[in-house]
Amino acid sequence: MKNEPVLPRKTVLMMAFTAGVIVANLNFIQPIEALIANDFQISKAVVGILAMLTQLGYAFGLLLIVPLGDIFDRYHLIQFMMVLSIIALLLAFMSPTMGIFAVATTLIGITSVAPQIIIPYAGFLAPALQRGKVLGTVLSGLLTGILLSRSFSGLLGSVLPWQQIYLIAAVLDTILLGVVHRYLPRDPRGHHSLNYFSVIRSLPHLLVTQRPLQGATLNGFCMFGVSNVMWSTLAFYLASQYHYGSNIAGLLGLLGIAGVTAAPYIGSMVDHRSPRLTIGMSIGFSTLAFLIFWLIGHWMLGLIIGIVLLDLGTQFSQVSNQAIVQSLNREQSSRNNSVFMFGYFMGGSLGTLTATWAWSQAGWTGVCLVALGFLIVSLLGHLILREPERLNA
């Protein structure tokens, strides 16, 4: 163990930065939906469908492209996906009609999965006792990209034509591609001779036969679902309770920086303490957050404290689960990550769907009850499936 090479910090930071820049592509559309609707002369409901297509494309990319990391050299695969992503961004920039833009935004979702190839690659390259910290740092970059992308898009959209956002993103991604080509470590595995369709068919088998993957997927499903329960209804709550607009919801989103900065430390706790402990803490933080939302969310201070706690709970879950997933079979780490992230994404989608329905039926109390349902399921999974006390080397 002492002779294991340490993954250089500058390499880890480069991978984290790359993950953050690429994942930002998914969220550019959200703050500029009104501008797009006005430009194409379409309703807000239709432009909402365009935003959904990005997420739908991402889901299919997770399921059908990320497993390729177990077949192909990941050094080349990451760059290939970046090239496709740049092409999709340029198509969005040049789209003359809504139909072409719909195709472009779907392709942006499909091709922006490189971060989910980078994450298992970082876990593969990192020595066992460094893996949690490395994954925590890479996830910090990913989360920062998600956090800042909406602000970046909204700010530029207020001073430039919205199409320019996609052009600027394509230019930044092209520069980053040169950096990745120069500094990303080569994949020591090279290409494998596995058949693609056999790899895809193996995904259900991996979930059925690996209890730690079951636990991580269920917990990720529930905890990201809980997160989306709040974020999908926060703007409604702010408007009804405080008479604030969506700009305040965006500013409150910056409170997520607490989770971003905590991610590497969470990773160290996973390495040196226990992923079972940190998963339990994730459930505890999120439960406490929604108790505060329900009891004193009508005060802004209560809302702020609850958001910080919820984001910490989400990050404890994400970092811990990624460390568990990447400590399983190293030869199938991309497929394991694909299964986990697909479940994670579907939980978020269900959280959004059920929370918006609950808001229309019972307001903020209904939203908190939906979150309680997700938290109960996560607690049952924690008690029944039982995460490992220690990670595999």
Is the pLDDT confidence value at 285 over 50? yes
12: exposed, middle or buried (Cβ count in 10 Å: 0-12, 13-18, 19+) = buried
3-class secondary structure, 321:
helix
**Tens-digit pLDDT profile for residues 58-115:** 888 988 999 998 888 999 999 999 999 999 999 999 999 999 999 999 999 999 999 9
Distance CA 55, CA 200 (A): 20
Query: Which DSSP string corresponds to 176-223?
Result: HHHHHHHHSPP-TT------HHHHHHHHHHHHHH-HHHHHHHHHHHHH
Q: How far apart are the first and last CA of the chain?
A: 9
Number of H helices, E strands in the chain: 16, 0
Ramachandran assignment for 190, one of left (phi > 0), alpha (psi -120 to 50 degrees), beta (any other): left
pLDDT surpassing 60 at residue 122: yes
The predicted-structure confidence for 179-189, as pLDDT tens digits, reads as follows 999 999 998 87
254 sits in which H/E element: none
Tell me which residue of 58, 168, 54 sits closest to 101, measured CA to CA. Answer: 54
DSSP 239: I
Whether the predicted pLDDT of 11 surpasses 90:
yes
More confident residue, 244 or 204: 204
Confidence band of 132 (pLDDT split at 50, 70, 90): confident
As given in the structure block, the two tokens for residue 354 are 């059920």
Which range has highest mean pLDDT (6-10, 21-25, 230-234)? 21-25
Give me Rg for the CA atoms of the chain. Answer: 20
pLDDT at 49: 75
Position 247 scores a pLDDT of: 62
- Quickly state the pLDDT bin for 139 (edges 50, 70, 90): confident
Ramachandran quadrant class, 209 (left: phi over 0; alpha: psi -120 to 50; beta: rest): alpha
* Spatial separation of the C-alpha atoms in residues 154 and 148, rounded to whole Å: 10
The predicted-structure confidence for 348-379, as pLDDT tens digits, reads as follows 878 877 887 888 889 999 999 999 999 999 99
Beta carbons of 293 and 368 less than 8 angstroms apart: yes
Q: What is the pLDDT of residue 12?
A: 93
**So what's the pLDDT on residue 2?**
46
In CATH, what is the architecture of 203-388?
Up-down Bundle (1.20)
Distance, in Å, from the CA atom of 281 to the CA atom of 307, rounded to the nearest integer, reads 16
Per DSSP, the residues of 266-292 read HHHHHHHS-HHHHHHHHHHHHHHHHHH
pLDDT at residue 119 above 60? yes
Contact 333, 326 (CB under 8 A): yes
- Element of type H or E holding 294: helix 275-296
Domain with CATH 1.20.1250.20 in the chain: 1-193, 203-388
The reported pTM is: 0.78
- Which range is most confident: 32-41, 126-135, 182-191, 312-321? 312-321
Identify the residue with better confidence: 148 or 47.
148
Q: Is the pLDDT of residue 253 over 80?
A: no
Superfamily name and number for 1-193: MFS general substrate transporter like domains (1.20.1250.20)
Higher pLDDT, 342 or 278: 278
Residue 314 CA to residue 259 CA, distance in Å, equals 8
Predicted local confidence at residue 258, as pLDDT: 75
Q: Which pLDDT band, with edges at 50, 70 and 90, does 245 fall under?
A: low
Q: Which of the 8 DSSP states describes residue 388?
A: -
Contact 135, 119 (CB under 8 A): yes
Q: What is the C-alpha to C-alpha distance for residues 226 and 373, in angstroms, rounded to an integer?
A: 9
Q: Say if residues 233 and 355 touch (Cβ distance below 8 Å).
A: yes
Q: Indicate the pLDDT class of residue 193, thresholds 50, 70 and 90.
A: low
CB atoms within 10 A of CB 319: 32
Q: Which two tokens stand for residue 10?
A: 């500058």
**What pLDDT score does 1 carry?**
44
